[in-house]
Amino acid sequence: MLSLVVITVLCAIYALTMLYFTLGILRSQGAKDSQATPSVSVVVPLHNEENYALNTLKALSQQDYSGKWEVICVNDRSTDNTLNILNDFATQHSNFNVLSVPMDAPDLPSPKKRALETGFAIAKHEILMTMDADCIPPPGWLRLMASRFENNIAIVQGPKKNFGSNSILHSYQKLDTLGFTLIEAAGFSNKMPMVASAAALAYRKDLFYKVGGFSDLMQYMSGDDDMLVHKMIKEPVDYCYNLEPDAAVATAPVDSWKALLNQRARWSSNGTKYGNPAYTLFLTLIFCFYCWLLVGPFFSLAGLTPWSWWMGSFIVKFAVDAIMLGIGGWRLKCFKLLLWLPVVEIIQVPLIVFSVLKGLFFKNLRWE
């Protein structure tokens, strides 16, 4: 029967993909015993971040890096107390600089990219390192990331994690973020980066400008990380993932399911915009598998398909997810998060389907 063949193919594609990621995680390396200390400019864009800015700045000021470094904070038209917090902190720390995007600057689908480029324009150093305003880097973050820039390495992606409470919402995000982080690590290690995260991303400044920066990405709501990396790796450069627990930046979770849906929709909004048709097709097939997992129970209730078709698909997904997350959780010293896996597996399917649909068909998503 054709429908069973299609389901089997989708299930096999997903399973093989997760096992491929697992092999990439096993290949991933943490910080090596390197003495490299390139000069670094850390650029942090901020938009109405008064609740997080001070903690982020304090954590950045406590970095144990021995090389030359600076922090450039770009206030993007904040209407709260963010700018005052930045200015007060910068007056007490000489290597912190503050810039502001004019309040009358034109609206853009992705103002975050403009904020980053504003900071990059005055960056003094050879390595550009980006961080989100709600992140808390550990003291060794800058050192462990910068030390990977040896030989021809031009891009280094680092891990991240969520802090927060033990609520279902926050616990879901912690395990989900672990999954994203591991997919990042696997892609870089397998020399086929799929996703990236600006919350802990670094690259050589000359490479950024060589590929045209964000000039051809401004019309997209996201893409300041993965789409940029996809452009960069077309150049003859090397890149790596820094799968080091002590380099993982902690980022704030969102505090409502609606906000989580909007965040994921924004992330998925560029799903059909990647330049590689094969990659877009691959994402489409994975999405179709999630759609089947969502509608399968209703088909079975209506007597259209046997329950075994859906149950088999869900069991395969659960098994390969558990393998990948288990190995990754062990590598990043957060194995206890897997206790939430049964809950996360149930919530993840409808959340991904609806966030992708919202990201593709609704255009009112903004950086918030």
pLDDT in tens, 234-287: 999 999 999 999 999 999 999 999 999 988 888 777 655 566 677 788 889 999
- Give the residue from 237, 147, 152 showing the smallest Cα distance to 193: 237
What is the pLDDT at residue 117? 96
What is the pLDDT at residue 320? 97
pLDDT in tens, 43-77: 999 999 999 999 999 999 999 999 999 999 999 99
Residue 363: is its pLDDT beyond 70? no
283: Cβ contacts below 8 Å, ≥ 6 apart:
271, 274
Strand 135-136 to 127-130 pairing: unpaired
Residue 221: is its pLDDT beyond 80? no
Angstrom distances, CA of residue 58 to CA of 107, 129, 150: 31, 17, 28
pLDDT in tens, 331-347: 999 999 999 999 999 99
Which strands form 249-251's sheet, in the order they lie side by side?
135-136, 249-251, 160-162
What is the pLDDT at residue 360? 81
Strand 201-204 to 153-157 pairing: antiparallel
What is the pLDDT at residue 368? 47
Global pTM reads 0.90
- Read off the pLDDT band of 138 (50, 70, 90): very high
